[in-house]
Every structure is written in structure tokens, then in C-alpha cells.
Amino acid sequence: MTVRGKPCVTWRMHGWRRRRRQTVAPNAANEFVFGAAASACNTSRCVNKKRAHKQVSFAMLVLSKQQGKETGMKRQRIGSTSCPQAYHRDLLHAIGKFLPRRGLPLQSGDGRTRWTDRLLVVMAMMMALQPAGTLKDAFEACWHVVTGMYPTRRRAGHTYEGFIKALQKRSGRLLEIVSRALRETVRSVAGCYWKMDGWIVMGVDGSRIECPRTAANEAAFGCAGRNKTGPQQFVTTVLHVGTGLIWDWRRGGGKEAERNHLRQMIAGLPSAALLLADAGFMGYDLLRELLAGGRSFIIRAGGNVTLLKKLGFAVREHEGIVYLWPLAHRKTAPLVLRLVAVRDGRKRVCLLTNVLEESKLSAHQVADMYRRRWGLEVFYRSFKRTLKKHKMHSASPAKAQVELDWALAGLWMLGAMTVHRMIESGTDPSGWSVAGSLRVVRRVMSGRGGRKAARDLRGLAFARKDSYCRTRPKTARDWSHKKTEHPPNPPKTRTASARERQSAQRLREKNHAA
């Protein structure tokens, strides 16, 4: 058979997508040019079609000599398919950059375990980014994504019950491995944003996460806050201010204090870090522990704090030097701090820092750094509302804790992928948008969105916040659940008495003698 005077035949391997197929006459000349298998396969009347199919299933022969408009048509290249599995592999490649190479095996030693460590971690993070209304729906949607990531591996279990049971047993160990790897990721991808004015600036804040109103959750977490509230978990998070990425977190019952959580995280902070905190973290014991650990801080002081001036404990006193010396701690040395008063609109904000020299940390730098602490409020809003994690779905306390941990880990991974792409493109990572990142990742999870943007998740480089300038105040209608808390008042400052100066002098001499 001929096409416009010239023979043309297209053969394909078994299972490949067919392009264009032309048959040729089964004569001796065609057998010599195209092979015996081609002639046998294209014979319109074959005695045994199955045998002819087997003869050509292993062969791939593309011989085309065409003229006309078909000659200039663009052919699809092998390997550039837009099937969902290709999108899932792109997502796996983007996540795999930040997962540890060791400690999370993909295959088990006995070959019988379906939920291996790496499959558990990937599934838990994918479920955190899935917008499904229930955990089972999120599991069903993510199961196809994870199996598409590892098409040649043994498939994971098909039930959510089996998945959460395996994750609950190994969550603590896996979370420690993943957290250690992601902290190294924050250091490596931050680049020039790792430090701000020579300081590694970290911010800390806490928030409550609701849980289902079950008897077990109420007994484990307690009911904090206003009347008629359900069980809640309290989570305290430390963020790297330069990139907006999570550094560490602690969780507990709804009535736990965020100061206790921060005490547990002091050892994990980078050496010589500068911590930003609001008035809720103000306390003599906590600040003393920060100083003992070699960490600096900028913390807001409220009206419940009394500061002393001209105590004579420091070697050199200048304008702004104050002392925190509560009555309950008069047997220990007072804390020597610097008071910096800045203006936030019409409000006067009083900040305390242990960096006493103006040359190392100016008042302008203190004000600029503390304004960046607002990123913590935005982080919790994104976690609760954009990611829809304001309430957990698990009815048991142990599963609710696991769900909260891996929701934070999923957001951490999403931020690492986005910040990495933004810094590579020369964009300030502090303006990354959680909503924009979620749109890109969810399109890739669903197998759509365009191969150019999906390959290695390049679209994350453009997940930025809106750059418009607000021209009027951001107001909303009266909301019954809206908080009406007033900002803290300035601290009480007074001059130290003669008796207090004498006590401070005795403590100073005692410390020098020791």
C-alpha cells in the first residue's frame, strides 16, 4: 500500500500510544524492506491473529516517508506525557530534595510491611495539604497520589485505619528524623536571608487548636478559653523570621503555658539567636534561662511588669538601662536590660532586650525586627483558615496529636519547597503566599496545571502575596467570636530605693567573690 506514491508504515511496541498506522501489501518486496514481521502483522486476512500479534509486540519500527501537511506536524516526544503519574513524580522529586536520604527506608526488610517509613511520611504530608472534609476522604485522594509516585513499588495499604495505626506507632521517631532534616533545609535554602542585620532572628508565639468534643479529648486536653468551648490543644511554634519557615514546635493541652513550651525549645535554637516574643512570654525565670543559654531576645513588656532604674548593679549605666528584679527573686541577681520605646501608629510599644550596646542593635533595628514578628500571626491564620486546620478531625487524643504534628510538618514542607524556588528566582521569601503554594501543589496532585509549571513545581516561585497597597483600614462586621483584647499597657518604671541599691551591691560583690 502506498501513500501519495511512497510507501509508509508505522510500527509500535505493545502498550505504546499509537501515532499513525499505514498498512502495506504482503509481498516479497515489502518483506525485504520492512521485515517479515511487518508483512505478517499487516496482512488483512491472517489465519492466526494472536500469533501475528506476538510476532510484532516486541518490535518498534518507524519508517515514514510522507509528503504534504503531515510532514511538518510536531510529533510528541517519548517521556513527555501529561498523564497524572508524571505530575506525581514531579511532586515526589520536589519533596525528595528535603527528605533525609537515610532513616526513611522505602522497602521493609521482610518485604511484607506495606506502610514503610517513607510511605508513611509522604502520605501524612500529602494529607495535610488535601482539602477533603474528612480524614478518610483525604486518605482516598492521597492514596492515588502516593501510588503514582512509586509505581514500581509494592502498593501501600488501602485503608485509613491501617495507615493511622502504623503512623501512630512510629510518629515520634519519624517526626524527629523529618524535623532534623527540615531544620538543615532552612539553613541551606535561606542563603542571605538566614541573618538579619547580623542576627539569626527567630519568632515565637502560641495558639489553640480545637478538637472534636468527645469524652476522651475533654479528659486529655481540657476545655480552655471562654465558656462553652470544646477540648483544645495548645501549640507553640518557633519560626525563622527571614524565611517564614517553621523551626520547632511543642504542643499540649489547652491549659498549658506557652512559656513552658518555649523552655523546652531553648536548647534547639541556633546559638546566638535573637528571639522575638510578645508580652505573654514575659517572665523573670524564662528570660534568665534564655540568657544562660546564650540567646538574645526582644520581648514586649506589659503593664504587669515593674522595672527599676539607677540600681547600680551594672558597671556602666546609660539612658535606657533598666533592671527586672521581682520581689520573689531578690536573692538572685537582677536582669540588666535595655528599654526601647517605639511607636506603632498611635500606640507606644515598650520592648526589652538584653543587647545593651546601641552599636550592636539600634533602636531602629529593634523596631524593624519586632514588626516582622507579625509574620507569626499570619502563619497561624494560614494554618487555621487557609489550610483549614483550625479544628482537628480525630476523636481520640493520641490520633489528634498525631494529626496536628503532621499537619505542621506538611506546612513546613510546603514552605521549604516554595522558599527554595523563590530564592532561586531572586524573590524575597518573606512574601510567600500559603494559598498560592497550595494551588500549585493541589493542581499537581490532581494531575493538571500545565507540564511547564508542574515540572519540579516551578510554579511555586510565583506563589507570592498581593503587592497592592491598602488605602483604607481593614475592617469587618461585628463577629460574635471576634476577640476584643486590648493591647498591653506600658510597664511601670521607677527609680530604685536606697535599700534596693544596697541589696544589689551586696549581690554584686558576692558574685565577684564567687
> Is there a single domain that holds both residue 106 and residue 62?
no
Give the integer Cα–Cα distance in Å for 426 and 407. 29
Give the integer Cα–Cα distance in Å for 143 and 123. 7
Query: How many structural domains comprise the chain?
Result: 3
- Is the pLDDT at 44 greater than 50? The verdict is no
**279-325 tens-digit pLDDT:** 999 999 999 999 999 999 999 999 999 999 999 887 678 889 999 99
Q: With beta carbons less than 8 A apart as the criterion, state whether 355 and 201 touch.
A: no
The radius of gyration of the chain from alpha carbons, rounded to an integer in Å, stands at 32
> Is there a single domain that holds both residue 59 and residue 88?
no
**188-220 tens-digit pLDDT:** 999 999 999 999 999 999 999 999 999 999 999
Give the integer Cα–Cα distance in Å for 258 and 494. 29
257 is written with which cell numbers? 503555658
Going along 157-242, which residue ranges are E strands? 200-210, 232-240
> Is there a single domain that holds both residue 21 and residue 145?
no
Phi/psi-derived region of residue 228, left when phi > 0, alpha when psi is between -120 and 50, beta in every other case: left
The residue among 432, 442, 435 whose CA lies nearest residue 462 is 432
Distances 345 to 280, 380, 500 between C-alpha atoms, Å: 21, 23, 37
Quick one: pLDDT band at residue 449, thresholds 50, 70, 90? Answer: low
Give the integer Cα–Cα distance in Å for 185 and 421. 13
According to the model, what pLDDT value does residue 65 have? 41
Q: With beta carbons less than 8 A apart as the criterion, state whether 149 and 89 touch.
A: yes
> Is there a single domain that holds both residue 107 and residue 148?
yes
Asked if the structure places residue 148 within a domain, the reply is yes
**91-102 tens-digit pLDDT:** 899 999 999 988
Asked if the structure places residue 485 within a domain, the reply is no
260 is written with which cell numbers? 513552658
Distances 48 to 34, 53, 122, 126, 294 between C-alpha atoms, Å: 20, 9, 49, 50, 84
> Is there a single domain that holds both residue 290 and residue 372?
yes
The residue among 241, 154, 145 whose CA lies nearest residue 202 is 241
Quick one: pLDDT band at residue 469, thresholds 50, 70, 90? Answer: confident
> Is there a single domain that holds both residue 312 and residue 279?
yes
Q: With beta carbons less than 8 A apart as the criterion, state whether 412 and 182 touch.
A: yes
Least confident span in 60-64, 210-214, 357-361, 429-433: 60-64
170, 197, 219 - which closes a domain = 170
Give the integer Cα–Cα distance in Å for 6 and 87. 40
**350-401 tens-digit pLDDT:** 999 999 999 999 999 999 999 999 999 999 999 999 999 999 999 999 999 9
Which amino acid makes up residue 4?
R
Give whichever of 78-82, 111-115, 380-384 has the largest mean pLDDT: 380-384
> For the whole prediction, is pTM greater than 0.85?
no
According to the model, what pLDDT value does residue 59 have? 38
Give the integer Cα–Cα distance in Å for 184 and 320. 38
Average pLDDT of the chain to the nearest whole number: 84
Give the integer Cα–Cα distance in Å for 147 and 136. 16
According to the model, what pLDDT value does residue 450 have? 62
Q: Which helix (H) or strand (E) holds 492?
A: strand 492-495
113, 138, 170 - which closes a domain = 170
Q: With beta carbons less than 8 A apart as the criterion, state whether 355 and 290 touch.
A: no
Mean pLDDT for the stretch of residues 107-125: 91
Q: Give the burial string for 312-324 (b: 16+ CB within 10 Å, else e).
A: ebeeebeeebbbb
- Is the pLDDT at 33 greater than 60? The verdict is no
Quick one: pLDDT band at residue 424, thresholds 50, 70, 90? Answer: very high
> Is there a single domain that holds both residue 298 and residue 434?
yes
According to the model, what pLDDT value does residue 319 have? 86
Give the integer Cα–Cα distance in Å for 429 and 459. 14
The residue among 205, 186, 169, 387 whose CA lies nearest residue 278 is 205
> Is there a single domain that holds both residue 165 and residue 264?
no
> Is there a single domain that holds both residue 63 and residue 212?
no
Least confident span in 20-24, 303-307, 331-335: 20-24
> Is there a single domain that holds both residue 227 and residue 272?
yes
Q: How many helices (H) and strands (E) does the chain have?
A: 16, 14
> Is there a single domain that holds both residue 151 and residue 9?
no
Domain that holds residue 337: 187-461
According to the model, what pLDDT value does residue 52 have? 43
- Is the pLDDT at 471 greater than 80? The verdict is no
Q: Which one has a higher pLDDT value, 354 or 430?
A: 354
According to the model, what pLDDT value does residue 203 have? 98
Asked if the structure places residue 182 within a domain, the reply is no
> Is there a single domain that holds both residue 255 and residue 317?
yes
